[in-house]
Chain A
Amino acid sequence: MARPALPRFQELQAPGSWHTLDFISDLHLQAAEPATFEAWRRYMGSTPADAVFILGDLFEVWVGDDHAQQPGFHADCGAVLQAASLRTPVFFMHGNRDFLVGDGFLRACGVTPLADPAVLGFAGQRWLLTHGDALCLADADYLQFRGEVRQPAWQLEFLTRPLAQRQAIARGLREQSEARKRSGVPYPDLDGPAVAEWLGAADARVMIHGHTHRPAEHGVEGGRQRIVLSDWDAAAQPPRQQALRLTRDGFRRVALD
């Protein structure tokens, strides 16, 4: 398996006034899942955190910021972000589903874009934040696709197409995703040696990521750790709506109402 070149790590230092940080990911917000949207809206309006970090796949799909300017589900999501950002800083990292969310939309919502990966200085430690898909090295076909669609040229070409055409492509992608789910998973996990390499390069002891929907804490050689966030599904029994809450005393998983 070819090991890709190490990425650049965006550096971010938490101000000393921050005591509680929340991390969420993989909400896959979509109009067809109103319960998850409602749970997220309540959470964003009530979290006591000093900052909220969204580590990828907040949205199930994103076909362009212009779409969110029209009344509808994505505009409603933008309003939630905007209201939350007035209470507390919100950071947004792209995932494999919502990689087309633009800086323009985020700026309009008062949300700060976060590069993938990023290193956060907090509580005297360095925390490596990533969505996680770039480290699933076994999925070579997906990584090739990822490499293509993260090119500015590809994105420019796509985003200048008529909205109706982009929506049709998005519907196709969703059908593709549904067909994949029906056809049977499992999906690969993050590559262990690559995780260790990223942690080393970032000089961080802990990685926090989403993407796999397999919440857990994994040990990494050298006394280091990888924390995996839960996905959200408020309609599931029991519902999954959870934030990882980090303080100077450590982290815990908070189940949300």
Chain B
Amino acid sequence: MSNPKVELHIAGYGVITLELDQDKAPKTVANFLSYVSKGHYDNTVFHRVIPGFMVQGGGFEPGMNQKPTDAPVENEANNGLKNKNYTVAMARTQAPHSASAQFFINVADNEFLNHTAPSAQGWGYAVFGKVIGGTDVVDRIKAVPTGRKGFHDDVPKDDVVIEKAVVV
């Protein structure tokens, strides 16, 4: 069976196509597809953009309103996938198994985010797919000007909006 693919349509930027690794990250992929299919990501923003590191989104509407999420998903960071450039991984709080909807696209090889030990400090961040189309779109997003907005750092000065996310 071929891996599922998801398109992120970014207003004014273009389309990012993600290939999801169903074999290595089955629970994370199922969780992500569930949010896609119910339209959770439609009209959310990339709210945290740090060039040389990652671009993070999927949790906030424009205006930095946080969207409600489902129960957190088990952290599959021990699946052997690495946080390499243009891979996609789940964001989370400091608790290892706390990821829900927010994800990030690595825009560098972030080795220090990989799983090293089953501890709070060593769990790492679960990679569950990679960008297979629209890396130029990712490159343009990571270059946008950012600043402080309310409680948040590194917020794009102009919203970078995911108009819709669709399974293809």
B54 interface residue, CB < 8 Å from A?
Answer: yes
Which A220-240 residues have a C-beta within 8 angstroms of B? 230-231, 233, 236, 238, 240
Q: Which residues of A contact B119 (CB under 8 A)?
A: 238
Contact string against A for B residues 81-96, beta-carbon threshold 8 Å, 1 for contact and 0 otherwise = 0000000000111100
Interface, chain B (partner A; CB < 8 A)? 47-48, 50-54, 56, 59-60, 66, 91-94, 99, 102, 104, 110, 112-113, 116, 119-121, 125, 146-148, 151-154
Q: Which residues of A contact B47 (CB under 8 A)?
A: 183
Q: Which residues of A contact B91 (CB under 8 A)?
A: 184-186
**A240 partner, pick from B93, B104, B120, beta carbons under 8 A:** B120
**Cβ-defined contact, A138 with B51, below 8 A:** yes
Question: Other than the known A180-B151, A213-B94, what 12 A-B pairs have Cβ atoms closer than 8 Å?
Answer: A138-B53, A141-B147, A142-B153, A183-B59, A183-B66, A184-B48, A184-B91, A185-B92, A230-B121, A233-B120, A236-B120, A240-B121
A189 interface residue, CB < 8 Å from B?
Answer: yes
Q: Which residues of A contact B116 (CB under 8 A)?
A: 216
Q: Is the interface of A mostly helix, strand, loop or mixed?
A: loop
Q: How far is the CB of A216 from chain B (nearest CB, A)?
A: 7
Distance between Cα atoms of A139 and B53 in the complex (Å): 9
> How many A residues face the partner with a CB closer than 8 A?
31
Distance between Cα atoms of A126 and B136 in the complex (Å): 45
Distance between Cα atoms of A179 and B148 in the complex (Å): 13
**Cβ-defined contact, B52 with A138, below 8 A:** yes
Distance between Cα atoms of A179 and B66 in the complex (Å): 11
Sort A-B residue pairs by CB-CB distance and give the 7 closest, nearest first.
A184-B91, A179-B151, A141-B153, A138-B53, A184-B102, A176-B151, A189-B112
> A138-B50, A138-B53, A230-B121 are contacts. A180–B102 as well, Cβ < 8 Å?
no
Chain B, Cβ-Cβ closest to A237? B120
**B146 partner, pick from A141, A184, A213, A238, beta carbons under 8 A:** A141
